[in-house]
Amino acid sequence: MSSSDDTALREQGTEFMPKFDSNGLLTAVAVDHASGALLMLAHVNREALDKTMETGFAHFYSRSRKALWMKGESSGHVLRVIEMRVDCDQDALELRVEAAGPACHTMATSCFYRRVVSDGTLERIVD
């Protein structure tokens, strides 16, 4: 199969063909299933993707620790995956989740709890 056939299948077909980057990762965003709010951004490798699909709970790959981790494994703030979506070229995932507590390790509902103001400072967003 040529690379153009592979691209056409990936972009238009019905087969899940994740396109991992040169480090073996996909970008994954977790979105609250009910509200649509962006909760967090992380990365998954093949093992994390397989664990997520097998268990129904979000697993990620920590680039800093170089290790697999399940979101909420120590805090209990797990992310139950309701639906997994893939972008057009299958190199990014949207995990529609139900969160059992704050998504951010800072205890904020979302990791995106600050906005950049025009003067370059950060302003906390009130939930």
Binding residues for Mg(2+): 87, 89, 91
SS3 of 88, please?
coil
Binding residues for Zn(2+): 88, 104, 111
Query: Roughly how many angstroms between the first and final C-alpha of the chain, as a whole number?
Result: 50
HSE-CB at 112 with a 13 A cutoff on CA atoms is: 11
Binding residues: 87-89, 91, 104, 111
| Beta pairing partners, 42 | 28
DSSP E strand boundaries for the chain: 26-32, 38-44, 59-62, 67-70, 79-86, 92-99, 114-116, 122-124
